[in-house]
Chains A and B, each alone.
Chain A
Amino acid sequence: MPKLIAFRIAQAIPVMFIVAVLTFLLMHLLPGDPATIIAGDMADQEAIEQVRRDLGLDQPVLVQLWLWITNLVHGDFGRSLMLNQPVAEAVAERLPVTLSLTLVAFAITVPVGIFLGVIAAVWRDTWADSAVMMLALVGVSVPNFWIAILSVILFSVTLGWLPSAGYVPISTSFWGWLSSLIQPAVVLALFQIGYLARMTRSAMLEVLDQDYIRTARAKGVSPRVTIAKHAFRNTLMQVVTVSGYIFSLLIGGSVVIEQIFALPGIGRLLVQAIMARDYPVVQGTMLLLGFAFVFINIVIDLIYAYVDPRVRYD
């Protein structure tokens, strides 16, 4: 196992390097000159050039890349142009919000999605199966921001049960925190629940087709135990492999959801930064997200390796 961990980490390093390079390159494709934007409408050519030199934008691209990477290694992600604050700080302030949203959504997605998928598989081809699959289909077909708007109209404006915007830090109030997140998290989770339910169903159907399920029946194992013990564990393993992807979908969705519910998270920061051509922030944020995923995938691979006896005892 320790060998596996080391191996996975070693594999991830070139990927992270490529992520860094790609992020850097992406931003340099952006049209629009940050120096001009920063200097402002009133600035003359000289002032703009000064800003450019300050930001190091007058250097050749490769030199900029080199500088950026070396800075990264020292933990210096640069300085936000629009916020006038170190990128790392800006991100750190907003991280808890996005993390809260994503984790709550994940906590909703996993049990609900798996539960629905198992029901659909066990009661295959009955009305339960059709109902679950229809629900799942709707989940992956409706645009989450649209549902968000509808949800706000219903639960916030009409019924007044939940806030329509804003984030309450957990340190201020637990219930405040939860109620500010419930709507966004549920709306965010819809797509993933649908995806997970469908995936779990097909994984479980595949498992139920296996010979060892027939062996369990031949031994006289009751249907309930066959499903819960023999089939479920094997299905769960397949689900684990997909949870990284689900997490990435959640973060992707959070970008839009944060906008709608005015949650000051990383997604919102990213969109604002792209509009404002704030290179450092965009680079830093996307890099962070990229690294986060590589890391999450490693963790998930390792969890899977631990859970699957075929990999663990090799």
Chain B
Amino acid sequence: MTDAAMPSSAADDPPRPSRLRVLARRLWRHRSFRLGAGIVAVIVILALAAPLITNGQPNAMSLRNRFAPPSAEFWFGADNFGRDIFTRVLYGARISLWIGFASAVLAAAGGALVGMASAWFRRLDGVIMRIMDALLAFPAILLAIGINAALGPQVSSVIIALASAYVPRMARIVRAAALVIRELDYVDAARVSGAGARRIIFRHILPNCLAPLLVSVTFVFAYAILAEAALSFLGIGPPPPQPSWGNIIAEGRDYSVEAWWIMLFPGLAISFAALGMNLLGDGLRDVLDPRLKVEA
């Protein structure tokens, strides 16, 4: 006589860790992500701890120490006014990182709004996308220069200018992701069962747009840091004497041969910050993007 076989059931499978845990673990294993996160963490910590590490006076002049080369007293040397470059770079970090962060997040928020609206409301789609195309016809930095010039030299205007310049790109990315979800059958199923537009957008579409959005935020952060430096360098960024990385380079440009340290260190700072962000973004993209295949 034979026994009836017991079919194996899902309950016998070992418990699966939550999706978030799995992603987090993969992220941590990813070399680029770790490196990028490390670099960014170091810079952020240094920036935040600036008042503790330095004497807290980025603008303190000391004519006695004009053009002091890097030494034990002035780690990064001193500029034409005798100001300590190390302190200025650290304080500059606070401004430049803040601008980068705020621009990226604002651009993401604006882009997400526009992109999802465009994907959901078919009738608006054409108009919105034409406007986005028009904005995309300008290089981001030109738009930023224009808007910034219109609003005046302040930190907030730089943020608004950079954010506006990157909104069209974010909108495009979000719209593409949202369109994919929207076409899926389960959205139709949800609609048929009476779910309202708002519920569908928030529960189904938004989570799936989060991944590409997050990846874009890191890359825009990197661009924004570079763009802000360029704007400051051109003289239309945060006004002196407030130090921003681009400012310091601009000020040091005239002395670049004799006092090379003035423009070397802020440049290195910008490079590392952008590098860290790019590495972070690479890691995020490698881990999140392939997982982004929506489970049907």
Contact = CB atoms under 8 A, between A and B. Distances in A.
Interface in B121-139: 130-131, 133-139
Given A141-B222, A143-B230, A149-B263, A14 B138 contact: no
Interface string A182-196: 000000000000000
A259 B257 CA distance: 18
- Majority secondary structure, A binding face: helix
Interface in B145-176: 145-147, 149-152
Interface string B201-228: 0000000000000000000001000100
Interface residues of B, number: 44
Contacts, number: 130
24 contacts: A15-B134, A26-B150, A27-B150, A29-B150, A137-B275, A140-B278, A142-B267, A142-B271, A145-B229, A145-B233, A145-B249, A146-B229, A146-B271, A157-B257, A251-B142, A252-B139, A252-B140, A252-B141, A255-B145, A255-B234, A270-B142, A274-B145, A275-B149, A286-B138
Given A140-B274, A149-B249, A255-B141, A26 B134 contact: no
A294 B246 CA distance: 31
Given A143-B274, A289-B138, 15 more contacts: A27-B150, A137-B278, A140-B274, A141-B272, A143-B233, A143-B246, A143-B270, A144-B230, A145-B249, A146-B263, A146-B271, A251-B139, A289-B139, A290-B137, A293-B136
A91 B292 CA distance: 47
A18 B279 contact: no
B256 interface: yes
A91 to B, nearest CB: 15
- Majority secondary structure, B binding face: helix
Contact of B135 (A14, A22, A30, A150): A22
A249 B141 CA distance: 9
Nearest to A297: B137
Interface of A: 14-16, 18-19, 22, 26-27, 29-31, 137-138, 140-146, 149-150, 152-153, 157, 248-249, 251-253, 255-256, 259, 270-271, 274-275, 282, 286, 289-291, 293-294, 297
Contacts of A251: 139, 142
